[in-house]
Amino acid sequence: MAVERPAAQALEDSLGLGAGERAAEALGQFLACYPTNKAMQRDTPRRMLRALDEMTDGYEQEPADILSAQFTAPSDDLVILKDIEFVSLCEHHLMPFAGQAHVAYVPDQYVVGLSKLARLVDCYAHRFQMQERLCYEVAVALVAHVSAKGAACVIEATHGCLSCRGARKQRATFITSSMLGAFRSDGDLRREFYAAIQLTHTRI
C-alpha cells in the first residue's frame, strides 16, 4: 500500500517545482503581509518546511512494519507502557499539542519490544491529527497487529489552539481514551490499567 509523503513534499509536487522553491516563495509572501524583516521572509520559509517535514514524518511510516518484530509471550498478563511523550499538530489550526500517551494490551501469543510501542505513538502523532483519532488509531493498530484480545490507549495533552488563542486556558488538560476488545468488556482489566497509570497521573 502506498504511503503518503510529507505535506511539504506534496505541496512542492502540486506546485510543479522541486526543492520547495514555490512552497518557500508562497510562505515568504505570507510573511511579507506582516511587518517582518527581510531576513525572516528569506530564511524562515525553508526552516518552516524542514520543521513541517520533520513533524509529519509519520506519513512515511507503517504501523504494521513498526510492530512486525514480535516475540513469544511468556504469559497473557497485562502489558503497559505509560508516560510516552509526544508532540503532534492539530489539523484544525496547525498548532502543536503535546502530552503523554499510556498504552496497554493483553498478549495473544506474542509481545513486541517496548520501543515499538513508543514508535507507534509517534507514527500517528507525527501526522496532522485530532487527539481523539490519535488515541483510537493507536489502540486499533495494537489490536490489528499484536493482540486481538484487546488494547487500550489513554492520552492526556495540552493544546496550543486552546492555550494560545480562543479561550486561552494555559493549564487545561484534554484527556481521551480508547478501549477495545477485553478492555471494553472486562471492567477488572480496565480498572487495573487505570490504576497502573494513575501511579504518577492523579488527574485521570
91 is catalytic: yes
User: Is 161 assigned a catalytic role?
Assistant: yes
9, 12, 90, 126: which one is catalytic?
A: 90
* pTM of the model as a whole: 0.86
What domains can be seen in the chain, in order of their start residue? Answer: 7-59 (no CATH), 66-197 (3.30.1130.10)
85 catalytic per annotation? no
164 is catalytic: no
- Residue from 91, 109, 132, 198 carrying the catalytic annotation: 91
In tens digits, the chain (204 residues) has pLDDT values of 444 445 555 545 544 445 578 888 899 999 999 998 988 888 999 999 999 999 999 999 999 999 999 999 999 999 999 999 999 999 999 999 999 999 999 999 999 999 999 999 999 999 999 999 999 999 999 999 999 899 999 999 999 998 898 898 888 999 999 999 999 999 999 999 999 998 555 444
Q: Does 131 qualify as catalytic in the annotation?
A: yes
Cβ proximity of 107 and 147 under 8 Å: yes
DSSP secondary structure string, 33-97? TTT--HHHHHHHHHHHHHHHHHHTGGGG--HHHHT--EEE-S----EEEEEEEEEEEETTT--EE
Q: Three cell numbers at 139?
A: 489502540
